[in-house]
Structure 1
Amino acid sequence: MAELLNPRNDFLFKRIFGSEENRDVLLTFLNRTFIEAGKPALTEIILLNPYTEKDAPRDKQSILDIHAKTDEGELINVEMQLFNKYDTEKRTLFYWSKLYSGQLQEGQSYKLLKKCVTINILNYSFLPNEHYHNVFHLREDRSGIPLIDDIELHFLELPKLDDHAVPVENGGLVNWLLFLKGADKSNWEVLKMNEPVLKKAMDTLEFLSQDTEARRLYEDRQKYLHDEASMIEGALAEGEARGEARGEARGEALGKRKKAVEMAKELLTLGVEVSIIARASGLSESEILDLKNK
Structure 2
Amino acid sequence: MDILDPKVDFVFKKIFGSEENKDVLLSFLNDTLKETEQQPLTHIILVNPYLDTTMVKEKLSILDVRAQTANGKQINLEIQLFNKYDIQKRTLFYWSKLYGGQLKKGQPYGDLKKTITINILNFRVIPNDRYHSIFHLREDHTGHILTDDIEIHFLELPKLASFCNLSDHLVRWLSFLKGIDKSRWEELAMDKPELKKAMAALEYLSQDEEARMLYEMRMKVLMDERSALDKAEKRGREEGKIEGKVEAIKNMLKFGVSISVLAKANDLTEEEVLKIKESMK
**TM-score, scaled to structure 1:** 0.83
> In 2, Cα distance between the equivalents of 1:260 and 1:86?
40
Change (3 A) 1:254 1:167: closer
Identity among equivalent positions (%) equals 54
Corresponding residue number in structure 2 for 1:167: 166
1:135 is paired with a residue of what secondary structure?
Answer: strand
In structure 2, the gaps of 5 or more residues are 259-276
Structure 1 ranges of 4+ moved more than 3 A: 36-39
Q: Mind listing any 5+ residue stretches in structure 1 that lack a counterpart?
A: 262-281, 288-294
CA deviations 1:102-144 (Å, max 9, x no partner) are: 1122332211111100000011111111111110000101111
Residue range with higher mean Cα deviation, 118-127 or 55-64: 55-64
Higher mean C-alpha displacement, 72-81 vs 249-258: 249-258
Residues in 2 aligned to 1:108 and 1:244: alpha-carbon distance in whole angstroms:
53
Task: Give the residue type in structure 2 aligned to 1:220.
Answer: M
TM-fit CA distance, 1:256: 2.7
CA distance in 2, matches of 1:96, 1:38: 18
- SS of the residue corresponding to residue 198 of structure 1 reads helix
Amino acid at match of 1:25: V
Q: In 2, Cα distance between the equivalents of 1:132 and 1:39? A: 22
Corresponding residue SS for 1:92: helix
Output the TM-score relative to the length of structure 2: 0.87
Residues 1:249 and 2:240 are matched in the alignment = no
Counting matched residue pairs gives: 261
TM-aligned CA deviation for residue 160 of structure 1: 0.8
Q: CA RMSD in A?
A: 2.1
Aligned 8 A contact 1:48 1:69 in 2: yes
Aligned to 1:91: 90
User: CA 1:73–1:47 in structure 2 vs 1: closer, same or farther (change >3 Å)?
Assistant: same
- Taking the aligned partners of 1:67 and 1:222, their CA distance within structure 2 comes to 22
What SS does the aligned partner of 2:252 have? helix
Tell me which residue corresponds to 2:106: 107
Equivalent residues of 1:55, 1:63 under 8 A apart: no
Cα distance, 1:149–1:164 mapped onto 2, change above 3 Å: closer
1:164 Cα deviation from its structure 2 partner: 7.1
What is the CA–CA distance in structure 2 between the aligned matches of 1:245 and 1:125, rounded to whole Å? 29
